[in-house]
């Protein structure tokens, strides 16, 4: 791979495998993400989407291979990798403001809180305003709608000023209208902050709509290895669906180009009858790369 790409990547995943006992989940994953990309990750059930996210966050370790954050080997979870989950990560007994600022408070010694309280609350209100929730700062989670709780959860992650914002199916529990509102909100927030987002979803339309770069993992493919050899999911699609500078609205979902992209993605990653050979994966993104060993591609001459 290009050494310059490795140096310029905020996230660099190289030759990563992940197994649980004897079951191989991720099979030689190579991925480099540069600062400011909005990367959506999609794939069929059981392909390891959330597993890959947990490896990036540091909640789990790869069985083999390396994961670097800004060129440094990733360790246990740190504030440079913010996380927003499907189930709201809010404490029910704390207000929205206290939930957002909790990490800042916990970083202090008990006797330091009074002298830092005003500044920390001001910072918390700043991030609540970024997600249009500053008017609800004193409310508790039970007093907020599902969409409002996810906005607070996003502010909770943003206050840590992460290098990468990791999101694990954050909108899947919401009704369709709220979900679309949050999708548009997240795009506007991304355009404003230019932060790096790593977004896992099971929804094909959501993946195509949100991502400037779309990655599909799948266990449905073929290679030249022996049939009885264990296989896990690989990146079968890594491509750019839209220009990062392109303004986008929900109306794009009805366009022919959008519908075609969703169809191609469903075929290439989700159809167990459509088994692409590893040589034919759509790895057309400028920063895409993959290493294949001699067993996966044999000389057929």
Cα distances from 278 to residues 14, 46, 275, 296, in angstroms, run: 17, 19, 9, 8
pLDDT, average across residues 243-264 = 79
Question: Does residue 73 sit in helix, strand or coil?
Answer: strand
Q: Which tops the pLDDT comparison, 299 or 253?
A: 253
pLDDT, average across residues 27-50 = 94
pLDDT, average across residues 241-260 = 76
The DSSP annotation for 158-184 comes to HTT--SEEEEESTTTTS-HHHHHHHHH
Residue 187's H or E segment, with its range, is helix 176-193
Helix axes 146-158, 113-130, angle to 10 degrees: 120
Q: Which pTM value belongs to this model?
A: 0.90
CA angle 207, 18, 217 (to 5 degrees): 25
31-45, 93-107, 230-244: the lowest-pLDDT one: 230-244
How far apart (Å, rounded) are the C-alpha atoms in residues 254 and 250? 8
């Amino acid at each position: 791979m290009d050494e310059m790409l490795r140096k310029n990547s905020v996230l660099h995943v190289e030759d990563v495998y992940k197994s649980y006992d004897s079951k191989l989940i991720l099979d030689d994953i190579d991925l480099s993400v540069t600062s400011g990309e909005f990367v959506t990750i999609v794939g069929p059930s059981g392909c390891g989407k959330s597993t890959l996210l947990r490896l990036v966050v540091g909640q789990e370790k790869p069985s083999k291979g390396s994961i670097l954050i800004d060129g440094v080997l990733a360790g246990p979870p740190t504030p440079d990798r913010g996380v927003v989950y499907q189930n709201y990560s809010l404490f029910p007994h704390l207000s929205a403001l206290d939930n957002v600022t909790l990490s800042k408070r916990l970083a202090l010694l008990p006797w330091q809180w009074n002298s830092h309280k005003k500044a920390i609350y001001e910072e918390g209100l700043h991030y609540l305003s970024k997600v249009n929730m500053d008017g609800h700062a004193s409310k508790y989670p039970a007093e907020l709608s599902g969409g409002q709780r996810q906005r607070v959860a996003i502010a909770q992650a943003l206050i840590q000023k992460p290098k990468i914002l990791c999101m694990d199916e954050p909108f899947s529990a919401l009704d369709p209208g709220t979900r679309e509102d949050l999708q548009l909100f997240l795009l506007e927030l991304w355009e404003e902050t230019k932060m790096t987002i790593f977004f896992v979803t099971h929804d094909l339309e959501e993946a195509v709509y949100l991502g400037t770069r779309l990655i599909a993992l799948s266990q449905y493919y073929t290679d030249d290895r022996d049939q009885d050899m264990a296989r896990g999911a690989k990146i079968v699609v890594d491509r750019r669906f839209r220009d990062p500078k392109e303004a986008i609205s929900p109306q794009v979902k009805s366009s022919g180009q959008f519908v075609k992209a969703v169809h191609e993605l469903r075929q290439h990653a989700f159809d167990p009858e459509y088994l692409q050979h590893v040589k034919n994966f759509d790895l057309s993104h400028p920063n895409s790369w993959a290493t294949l060993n001699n067993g996966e591609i044999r000389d057929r001459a």
